Structure 1
């Protein structure tokens, strides 16, 4: 992840479908404030929706931290999803294009990764998963 200054940090617990919607709303608000284009707003909100749903369904719930970031003159949005679930046993498979567990939007982790500019996954079996993403304004 790029070193950057974070502002307007908000944390949303993810324990229900309504919380996934709240994450989408927080990300949309942050993306507008960071002056992302409408296309980039849609990309980061879509990625956040997929990752929030993964946090709920596969991680058993967790949280999303949403903030605007500044790196020099670059503005963007960073979202960090954290859960204490079972972790991802086969990261390589989970990041494979077209891989799906059969539920969700069908984007999977690889689809979410393509929608953002920076993607970092930290997971361990039995120890949960953290996914951090950044989308920069162009």
Structure 2
């Protein structure tokens, strides 16, 4: 049998989004709301205390970046399910100036403001999945995820 007649490879389905909630990030008060909402979502998802703290810290860093550097944005929290695991995905979007040098922005200690420079790099270390989509003048979207066994 030739390869052109072989059955297509079967890929396991991606994770199922079971819950999706969005939060505006436009003020200091919104940053607190995001922290509380993400903490509640990690509890709902079944994360232990250490992983709850990791996810909340990453969310806080990313939301602050969107607020300070992106002039505000939106955080979407998705609870996920896949075979044998629950997860949480955070998608932070802003319409700010974008990140001109993503490599530098991911380097510890790099800052364009008064912070410690651990925002993006710290979030990347705290989460299991990490992706940044950015274009100068067109904003930034950061997508992160973390999983816990069921």
TM range (shorter): over 0.9
1:134 is the counterpart of 2:127:
no
Corresponding residue number in structure 1 for 2:47: 36
**Structure-1-length-normalised TM-score:** 0.93
Count residues with an aligned counterpart.
137
19-28 or 2-11, larger mean C-alpha shift: 2-11
103-112 or 84-93, larger mean C-alpha shift: 103-112
Choose which of 119, 123, 130 in structure 2 pairs with 1:108. Answer: 119
CA-based RMSD: 1.5
**Counterpart of 2:123 in 1: which secondary structure?**
helix
Per-residue deviation at 1:3? 2.9
User: Which 4+ stretches in 1 moved above 6 angstroms?
Assistant: none
Relative contact order, higher structure (CA 8 A, sep 6+) = 1
**Which runs of no fewer than 5 residues in structure 2 stay unpaired?**
1-12
Choose which of 56, 60, 65 in structure 2 pairs with 1:45. Answer: 56
**Structure-2-length-normalised TM-score:** 0.86
1:23 is the counterpart of 2:1:
no
Choose which of 50, 70, 83 in structure 2 pairs with 1:72. Answer: 83
- Structure number with bigger Rg: 2
